[in-house]
Amino acid sequence: LEEEVRFGPRRRLESSHELGQKLELPSKSTPPTQVAFQKPYQLVSFSYTPQRELVFNDSALRFWVEPPRNADLNYRYAHWIKRKEERGRLDGLLKAAIHARCDETRSRARTICWRGVLCKILIAPYEERDKWELNVMRLGDTIYLEEHATDQALAQKENMNEHQRKQTYYGYSFESWCTDVRPRGHDQQPRWGGDVDTNVQWCSVVKTKIGQHRLLIGGEVDCVRGRYTEQPDTFVELKTSMTIRPGNGWDEAKFEKKLLKFYFQSFLLGVPEIVVGFRTPQGRLQTVQTFKTLEIPRMVRGKPSEWNPGVCLSWGDNFISQVIEWASKLTCTLERAQVGRISFEPGVGMRFNMLSEAEIEEVRDGEDRIGFLPTWFVEHCLA
Min dist CB 218 to ligand A3P, Å, is 13
- For position 172 contacting ligand A3P by CB under 6 A, the verdict is yes
- 130 HSE (CA, 13 A, CB side): 7
Q: Write down the least CB distance from residue 279 to ligand A3P, Å.
A: 9
Among 220, 233, 306, 357, binds Mg ion (CB under 5 A): 220
> What's the min distance (Å) between Cβ of 306 and ligand A3P?
22
* Interface segment toward Mg ion; rule CB under 5 A; list 57-65, 151-159, 233-241, 250-258: 233-241
Smallest distance from Mg ion to CB 224, Å: 13
Pairing status of strand 213-220 against strand 111-114: parallel
Residue 240 within binding range of ligand A3P, rule CB under 6 A = yes
Work out what residue 297 binds among Mg ion, ligand A3P, none; the CB cut-off runs from 5 to 8 Å by kind.
none
Please report whether residue 176 would count as binding ligand A3P according to CB under 6 A: no
CB of 169 to Mg ion, least distance (A): 13
- Give least dist CB 60 to Mg ion, A: 11
Residue 239 engages ligand A3P in binding (rule: CB under 6 A): yes
* Window of 73-81, 133-141, 236-244, 311-319 that interacts with Mg ion by CB under 5 A: 236-244
Q: Is 222 in the site for ligand A3P (CB under 6 A)?
A: yes
Q: Taking CB within 5 to 8 Å according to partner kind, which of ligand A3P, Mg ion, none is near residue 202?
A: none
User: Residues binding ligand A3P: what is the number (CB under 6 A)?
Assistant: 7
Among the residue ranges 29-37, 68-76, 169-177, 364-372, the one whose residues contact ligand A3P (CB under 6 A): 169-177
Q: Which does 168 bind (CB under 5 to 8 A by kind): Mg ion, ligand A3P, none?
A: ligand A3P
CA–CA gap between residue 308 and residue 131 (Å, rounded)? 21
Residue 45 or 353: the one with the smaller Cβ distance to ligand A3P is: 45
Q: Which of 273, 277, 290 is nearest to 241 (CA)?
A: 277
Binding mask 87-126 for Mg ion (x = CB under 5 A): ----------------------------------------
Candidates 4-12, 141-149, 171-179, 346-354 — which segment interacts with ligand A3P by CB under 6 A? 171-179
Angstrom distance (rounded) from CA 174 to CA 77: 12
Burial per residue of 224-245, b for 16 or more beta-carbon CB atoms within 10 angstroms, e otherwise: bbeebeeebebbbbbbbbbbbe
> Among ligand A3P, Mg ion, none, what does residue 114 contact (CB within 5–8 Å per kind)?
none
* Of positions 49, 168, 318, 322, contacts ligand A3P by CB under 6 A: 168
Q: Does 222 bind Mg ion (CB under 5 A)?
A: yes
Shortest Å, Cβ 359 to ligand A3P: 25
Residues that bind Mg ion (CB under 5 A): 220, 222, 238
Residues that bind ligand A3P (CB under 6 A): 168, 171-172, 174, 222, 239-240
